[in-house]
Amino acid sequence: MYKILSTDNMAKAAEFTTPYGVIQTPCFMNVATVAAIKGALSSIDLKNIGTQVALCNTYHLHLRPTDTVIYEMGGLNKFMAWDGPILTDSGGFQVFSLAHRRKIKEEGVYFSSHINGDKIFMGPEESMQIQSNLASTIAMAFDECPPALAQREYINSSVERTTRWLNRCIVKMKTLNSQEETINKKQLLFGINQGGICVDIRISHAKTISNLDLDGFAIGGLAVGETHEQMYNVLDNVVEFLPKNKPTYLMGVGTPENILEAVDRGVDLFDCVLPARNGRHGHVYTNDGKMNLLNKQYEKDERPIGVDCNCEVCKNFSRAYVRHLLKAKEMLGMRLCVMHNLYYYNNLMSEIRTAILNRSFKEYKNKRLDGYRL
């Protein structure tokens, strides 16, 4: 299911075959929180901007419209009219970042909905059941994501509980995939490595979960407060202890610079809200660095956002026009910036893959990093 096509030092170009299509890695998954990309992009747009995988959020969909509604509608692919792979997170991250009055117990987490305060319980079995209802291609194990800079002692006990939860996820997923009424009986399961910036805990945990029957391995709990150097240090030490014959996924990362550095350390999969969130604020990515389109200097700038970009936005509209839309608070301004940014990321990944296949990744990486520093 996971086949490496080429390596260039630690960087890998691979094919990851899923029941909903082949993912060419390294790949940036586009975040469609509630089954839609924020910024008015639909699944039709995703095709046009070169998206390979949509990532949806279990916590949000569980609350609204609820996973049971989506199950009755035939699963996420049918619901959002997207025929490619979908990865769902486990809900854990949002339970810790969004929910009110959460309480962690061995069985799972008790919390109150951020929408209406409803009391909810989510543990490994509940997360697997919800993700099975959503019928995503790849389900993520239910874990705790402790703050990166939490006390070592807390991280240690948290990681041990995450391992116990992972085993419960595996058991529950097997059961669900064997049930007649399950929509996607070939749902894949990824485990998540945790341990904050404590490299020894990370390595020990990586070794433990590598022995489990999982379809891929994520590195979670990064990009949550630590420095870039601390993140790269974790990758430098941990990636080698994850299975070579399975994809490696760095959760919630990141900037184009982060992605280039992480690919160079052996990572296959990424996701991040940055390009869409920045786009909604008029911050756009180019090979010459990030640009704030609200700046006065773009008022009469007839050039496209990216002078060498082939996206629909850059082929049709000027910086002056997009800036005007943003200043006038027209939704179209946000849409065009988000479209451009996601295309930029997807195209960056495509160029990265080509560079690895050509064994010229270092050169490509340095060219891009030099451009971003301009």
Interface residues toward a copy of itself, by CB under 8 A: 34-44, 60, 64-65, 69, 72-73, 79-81, 299-300, 302, 312, 316-318, 320-321, 324-325, 327-328, 330-336
Q: By C-beta, is 69 or 171 nearer to a copy of itself?
A: 69
Taking the complex as a whole, the smallest distance from the CB of residue 298 to a copy of itself amounts, in Å, to 11
CB of 60 to a copy of itself, least distance (A): 8
Q: How far is the CB of 94 from a copy of itself (least distance, A)?
A: 14
Is residue 118 part of the annotated active site? The answer reads no
- Residue 311 CB, shortest distance to a copy of itself, in Å, is 12
| Rounded distance between C-alpha atoms, residue 212 and residue 205, angstroms | 11
4 forms bridges with which residues in the sheet?
14
Return the number of the residue (331 or 369) whose C-beta is nearest a copy of itself: 331
| CB of residue 302 to a copy of itself, shortest distance in Å | 7
CB atoms within 10 A of CB 303: 11
* 260 touches 368 (CB < 8 A): yes
CB 248 within 8 A of CB 257: no
Q: Which is nearer to a copy of itself, 283 or 359 (CB)?
A: 283
- Alpha-carbon distance of 107 to 356, in angstroms, equals 44
C-beta of 35 vs 189, nearer to a copy of itself: 35
Annotated catalytic residue within 45, 215, 264, 271 = 271
Whether 345 contacts 25, CB under 8 Å? no
Q: Which is nearer to a copy of itself, 25 or 94 (CB)?
A: 94
Name the residues annotated as catalytic: 89, 271
